């Protein structure tokens, strides 16, 4: 019989007390359920006296955002926890520490990051983060390189890929990113003011071809252990620190998918900023930072990836002249395509982003959506032919829908 049941706060506190050497024996512990995502319960347990805390995350057997009619495997809790442990090993300063777990209850007990802010919230409020690009570029480079055939034993990699077979969560991505937006799917969710733009996506056969190729790559190219959902809601941040959380969508897929997730969410915020910035000067500063970050995230990824490749590559042919450059060009092209796909899904698909949807001014919210669709489409169509990251920022800067020139 399964031991699984959703935890009560009392049970969460009991589990927290059992973590070795963490809370003092008689500590007065408080517990708050703070899960605001689509899929899980999240308990924050703190010592009322000194504020020391930890997090217990529990997977629910269905997608919270839809309800019990959308069942999801609880094994994703194990997948998330194992991915966190691997990523923490590869980038210890950039991933929270796991203190414990219980596979039957589908829980992971981990470091409390409540002194950090969710990056999406910070960006909406106009914050900029000077170390973000270096941190996330290094996280992506290390977590991808050392779990790929380049950086780990190729037989162990196959066994590891089997442990990260994640069909339920991959199906969410396959449907919500690479299917629904391109047809009249009941899963789609968009406002009437963008119906014309949404319906144009259903008829754009040039776009469909590129999305089909991106989808095929997502389905078949097990290059590295991806985070799988690396948007700005999966990143906790301060001016000094960046922590990547929530890898429950982890699986072996194409590297560009993770990088594209980061860039797409910077660009969604870029499209939304007219709705958040108090005046033109602030808007221009924030947008410059966002576009600079798009370029720097890629550059930091590339620099770190080349460095670990040159130091640690295990593949016998890795040092072949020209191979590294061709490999990185492929990752760049994939990144650009996935960036576009991840922008479009957040405007017309099931699950949106607060950056755009919570803009209070109707016109600015509408314009943000149109801009995101415009840039997203252009990136998907450009991806396969691109040769530099600057092509992405040029497309964003020049998009008519954001007040550009083209
Ligand atoms: C039903 S889950 C919807 C979305 O939330 C997650 O963060 C993923 O991005 C997923 O596509
Ligand atoms: Mg998540």
Q: How far apart are CA 72 and CA 130, in angstroms?
A: 38
Output the CA 2–ligand 2 centroid distance in Å: 25
State pLDDT tens for residues 192-203.
999 999 999 999
User: Which ligand has the nearest atom to the CA of 247?
Assistant: 2
For the chain, state the CA radius of gyration: 21
State pLDDT tens for residues 201-258.
999 999 999 999 999 999 999 999 999 999 999 999 999 999 999 999 999 999 999 9
Percent of the chain with pLDDT strictly greater than 90 = 94
In ligand 1, the atom with minimum distance to the C-alpha of 65 is 1
For ligand 1, atom 3: residue with the closest CA:
351
Mean pLDDT value across residues 365-378: 98
Output the CA 48–ligand 1 centroid distance in Å: 33
* 358 to 131, 148, 159, 366: CA distances (angstroms): 27, 39, 43, 11
State pLDDT tens for residues 117-138.
999 999 999 999 999 999 999 9
For ligand 1, atom 5: residue with the closest CA:
38
DSSP assignment of 291-334 equals HHHHHHHHHHHHHHHHHHHHHH--STTTTSTTHHHHHHHHHHHH
Secondary structure element (H or E) that encloses residue 237, with its range = strand 235-237
* Placement of tokens 């890929």 in the chain: 161
Secondary structure element (H or E) that encloses residue 397, with its range = helix 390-398
Output the CA 238–ligand 1 centroid distance in Å: 24
User: Which ligand has the nearest atom to the CA of 350?
Assistant: 1
* Residue 200 CB less than 6 A away from ligand 1: no
Q: How far apart are CA 34 and CA 59, in angstroms?
A: 13
In ligand 1, the atom with minimum distance to the C-alpha of 63 is 1
- Predicted pLDDT at 403: 66
Give the residue extent of every domain in the chain: 9-111, 117-397
CATH number for the domain formed by residue range(s) 117-397: 3.90.1200.10
User: For the whole model, what pTM was predicted?
Assistant: 0.97
Residue pair 342/294 in contact by the 8 Å Cβ criterion: no
Backbone angles phi, psi at 395, to 5 degrees: -60, -45
The dihedral through the CA atoms of 29, 245, 175, 267 has a sign that is positive
Mutate to test the pocket of ligand 1, among 188, 229, 248, 250 (most ligand atoms within 8 A of CB): 229
Residue pair 151/308 in contact by the 8 Å Cβ criterion: yes
N-terminal to C-terminal alpha carbon distance within the chain: 63
State pLDDT tens for residues 243-280.
999 999 999 999 999 999 999 999 999 999 999 999 99
State pLDDT tens for residues 22-51.
999 999 999 999 988 778 999 999 999 999
Q: Confirm whether 9-111 and 117-397 share one CATH topology.
A: no
Of residues 397, 392, 402, the one with CA closest to residue 298: 392
* Residue 56 CB less than 6 A away from ligand 1: no
Mean pLDDT value across residues 186-196: 98
State pLDDT tens for residues 44-93.
999 999 999 999 999 999 987 788 888 999 999 999 999 999 999 999 99
Query: Which phi-psi region, left, alpha or beta, contains residue 246 (left: φ > 0; alpha: ψ -120 to 50)?
Result: left
State pLDDT tens for residues 272-326.
999 999 999 999 999 999 999 999 999 999 999 999 999 999 999 999 999 999 9
Q: How far apart are CA 184 and CA 107, in angstroms?
A: 37
* Placement of tokens 């019990």 in the chain: 68
In ligand 1, the atom with minimum distance to the C-alpha of 70 is 1
Decide which of 126 and 2 is more confident: 126
Query: Which phi-psi region, left, alpha or beta, contains residue 392 (left: φ > 0; alpha: ψ -120 to 50)?
Result: alpha
Residues surrounding ion ligand 2 at CB below 5 Å: 37, 246
Q: Is 114 helix (H, G, I), strand (E, B) or coil?
A: coil
The dihedral through the CA atoms of 165, 169, 171, 177 has a sign that is negative
Q: Which two tokens stand for residue 56?
A: 């217990």
Q: How far apart are CA 199 and CA 378, in angstroms?
A: 16
Q: Which two tokens stand for residue 80?
A: 């998330």
Q: With cut-offs at 50, 70 and 90, classify the pLDDT of residue 406.
A: very low
Q: Work out the number of other CB atoms within 10 angstroms of the CB of residue 238.
A: 16
CATH number for the domain formed by residue range(s) 9-111: 3.30.200.20
């Amino acid at each position: 019989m399964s031991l699984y049941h959703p935890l009560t706060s009392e049970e969460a506190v009991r589990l927290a007390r059992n973590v070795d050497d963490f809370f003092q024996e008689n500590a007065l512990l408080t517990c708050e359920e703070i899960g605001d995502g689509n899929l899980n319960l999240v308990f924050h347990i703190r010592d009322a006296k000194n504020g020391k805390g930890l997090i217990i995350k529990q997977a629910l057997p269905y997608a919270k955002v839809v309800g019990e009619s959308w069942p999801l495997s609880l094994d994703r809790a194990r997948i998330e926890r194992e991915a966190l442990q691997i990523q923490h090993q590869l980038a210890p300063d950039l991933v929270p520490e796991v203190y414990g777990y219980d596979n039957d209850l589908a829980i992971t007990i981990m470091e409390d990051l409540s002194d950090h802010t969710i990056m999406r919230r910070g960006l909406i409020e106009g914050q900029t983060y000077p170390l973000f690009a270096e941190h996330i570029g290094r996280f992506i480079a290390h977590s991808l390189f050392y779990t790929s055939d380049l950086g780990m034993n190729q037989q162990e990699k196959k066994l590891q890929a089997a442990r990260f077979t994640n069909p339920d969560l991959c199906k969410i991505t396959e449907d919500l990113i690479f299917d629904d937006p391109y047809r009249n799917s009941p899963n789609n969710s968009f406002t009437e003011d963008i119906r014309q733009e949404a319906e144009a996506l259903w008829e754009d056969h040039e776009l469909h071809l590129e999305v089909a190729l991106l989808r095929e790559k997502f389905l078949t190219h097990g290059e590295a252990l991806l985070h799988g959902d690396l948007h700005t809601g999966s990143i906790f941040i301060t001016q000094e620190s960046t922590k990547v959380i929530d890898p429950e969508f982890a699986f072996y897929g194409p590297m560009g998918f993770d990088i594209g997730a980061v860039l797409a969410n910077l660009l969604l915020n870029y499209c939304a900023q007219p709705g958040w910035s108090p005046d033109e000067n602030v808007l221009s500063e924030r947008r410059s930072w966002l576009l600079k970050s798009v370029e720097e995230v890629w550059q930091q990824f590339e620099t770190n990836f080349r460095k670990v490749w040159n130091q640690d590559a295990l593949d016998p042919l890795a040092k072949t002249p020209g191979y590294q450059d061709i490999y990185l060009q492929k990752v760049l092209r994939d990144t650009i395509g996935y960036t576009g796909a991840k922008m479009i899904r957040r405007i017309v698909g099931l699950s949106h982003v607060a950056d755009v949807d919570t803009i209070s001014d109707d016109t600015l919210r509408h314009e943000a959506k149109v801009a995101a669709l415009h840039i997203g489409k252009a990136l998907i169509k450009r991806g396969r032919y691109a040769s530099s990251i600057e092509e992405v920022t040029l497309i964003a800067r020049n998009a008519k829908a954001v007040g550009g020139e083209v």
